[in-house]
Amino acid sequence: MNAPFPQHSLCSPSSAGRWMKCGASVFAMRTYGIKEKDTSEDAARGTVLHTITAECLRDNREAWEYAGQTFREEKFEFIIDEDMVVHVQHNVDFVLNFMKRYPGAILHVETRVYSTMDADAHGTADIRIEVPGLFIAIMDAKYGMMRVEANDNQLKQYGYYSYERRSDAMKGAGEPADVWLFILQPRLPNPKDRVRDAKFTVEAISDYFHNEVLPALKNTRNPNAPFVMGSHCTFCPVLAAARCQAWAKAAEEVPVEAPVDSMSNEKLGYWRKRKKLFMKFFDGIDGETLTRIRDRGETVPGAKAVHKMGDRAWKEGIEIELDGKKSFVESATLLADRLGKANIYTDPKLKSPAQMEKVPGGKAMVSLLAYKPDTGITIADEEDTREPVVGLMQLMDQKQVAVGVGDL
């Protein structure tokens, strides 16, 4: 029986990477009424992938049956294309093949799991498989291209909650020894990387919950919990709302007058890693400024509310007088009549390779005819999966070493 919890917790396992490190972010969300950020298009597409995967597993269906159907997730609408069908079927096949290896396995799809130890300890597990006497498996499908490890906080929390809420078949003689975690990422380019796993003993996953998760949950209710800066701030709604005290203080310390060419490499790295997050903080500043001026009629020194810039667009048409009668004429018709059809349309433009892949048979043609041009060199974070470019000085050093070896 599921507990009467809200559908989404401020301490959800999916955002554990943030609130376990910065409990103040959750306390600030409760205090200021800050909500989670709006769903992105990729996140919405991921939700659709979860939905179809769950239906296939529950109703014994195959992914191709959804081809061409339209799904709406919040403000986004998607037509299920060939790629989505392939990705869903990858996940469905893995789950079903896994269950065949363990006779007596019990499948649970999209179920609420929780701990009685804390009211905020709950979430929805995508796929749980109970194998009496052996293990509980947790499988989470990710739509994104950013590699996610199976031993992350989200899956470990689902693992513990699933253990605490295990069925009667998993008790007594059926007591599990392990909790097995799986990440399914069918869009990753390397086929060997699309399924990753991590296995923990029940004792280890219980220790993790009691020693790390419970104290972190308690800290989210601590009014004196400090704001902690780090990579976990990337998707923080408190930062986006410009309510983070740590980032506000850091913004005052930005060396705006210091010449960057005099900074050490360490300083350059330090400030560069914070650049994107500072941009989010200042976007939050602009958002709050707009709210105060536009909605509250307040005055903010140095700022004003204005209409956004926009390109001109054609009217649907206008009423004109023809033979003494007023008639509605579409803009395109009137333009063609007055300016000539040849003068009012742009030439057809070839679709991009990404768009062409959506056309039946397009993938093969893209593989044959498309290439990735060299658009120059830029800076990326260390976690980026692209190969680093060898610097000019490093290249010269390598050549010197090569010449030296050849002269021996």
Residue 384: pLDDT over 90: no
51-60, 285-294, 386-395: least confident range: 386-395
Residue 258: pLDDT over 80: no
Residue 230, pLDDT score: 84
Distance CA 286, CA 187 (A): 36
Residue 173, pLDDT score: 95
**Reported confidence tier of residue 287, pLDDT bands at 50, 70, 90:** confident
Q: Which residues of 182-204 are buried (b: 16+ CB within 10 A; e: fewer)?
A: bbbbbebeeeeebbbbbbbebee
Distance CA 50, CA 40 (A): 15
User: Could you tell me the fold of the domain covering 38-219?
Assistant: Lambda Exonuclease; Chain A (3.90.320)
Residue 2: pLDDT over 50: no
**Reported confidence tier of residue 390, pLDDT bands at 50, 70, 90:** low
- According to the 3-state scheme, what is the secondary structure of 238-295? HHHCCCCHHHHHHHHCCCCCCCHHHCCHHHHHHHHHHHHHHHHHHHHHHHHHHHHHHH
State pLDDT tens for residues 104-147. 999 999 999 999 999 999 999 999 999 999 999 999 999 888 88
Nearest to 180 by CA among 227, 118, 129, 247: 129
Tokens of residue 333, six digits: 């018709």
**Reported confidence tier of residue 401, pLDDT bands at 50, 70, 90:** very low
State pLDDT tens for residues 339-364. 888 888 887 888 888 888 888 888 88
Residue 408, pLDDT score: 35
Residue 5, pLDDT score: 54
Mean pLDDT calculated for residue range 252-277: 80
Q: Which residues contact 62 (CB under 8 A, 6 or more apart)?
A: 56, 89, 92
- Compare 339 and 4 and report the one with higher pLDDT: 339
Nearest to 170 by CA among 209, 227, 206, 132: 132
- The tokens 């253990």 sit on which residue? 163
Mean pLDDT calculated for residue range 281-302: 85
Residue 406: pLDDT over 70: no
Listed by start position, the domains of the chain span: 21-35+224-305, 38-219, 317-369
Distance CA 358, CA 361 (A): 8
Mean pLDDT calculated for residue range 34-60: 89
Tokens of residue 27, six digits: 């306390």
φ/ψ (deg, to 5) at 392? -60, -45
Strand order in the sheet with 106-114: 106-114, 122-131, 135-141, 178-184, 195-201
**Reported confidence tier of residue 402, pLDDT bands at 50, 70, 90:** very low
Residue 21: pLDDT over 80: yes
Residue 399: pLDDT over 60: no
pTM for the predicted model, two decimal places:
0.71
- Compare 363 and 26 and report the one with higher pLDDT: 26
Residue 1, pLDDT score: 39
Residue 404, pLDDT score: 42
**Reported confidence tier of residue 68, pLDDT bands at 50, 70, 90:** very high
- Compare 85 and 338 and report the one with higher pLDDT: 85
Residue 227, pLDDT score: 94
> From the CB of residue 22, how many other CB atoms can be counted at a distance below 10 Å?
27
- Compare 227 and 380 and report the one with higher pLDDT: 227
Which value, in Å, is the radius of gyration of the alpha carbons in the chain? 28
**Reported confidence tier of residue 3, pLDDT bands at 50, 70, 90:** very low
Residue 281: pLDDT over 80: no
Residue 7, pLDDT score: 54
Query: What is the 8-class DSSP label of residue 398?
Result: H
Residue 225: pLDDT over 90: yes
Mean pLDDT calculated for residue range 25-34: 93
Mean pLDDT over the full length of the chain: 87
Residue 405: pLDDT over 50: no
> 182 - beta bridge partners?
139, 197
Residue 397, pLDDT score: 56
Express as a percent the part of the chain with pLDDT over 70.
93
Distance CA 123, CA 323 (A): 69
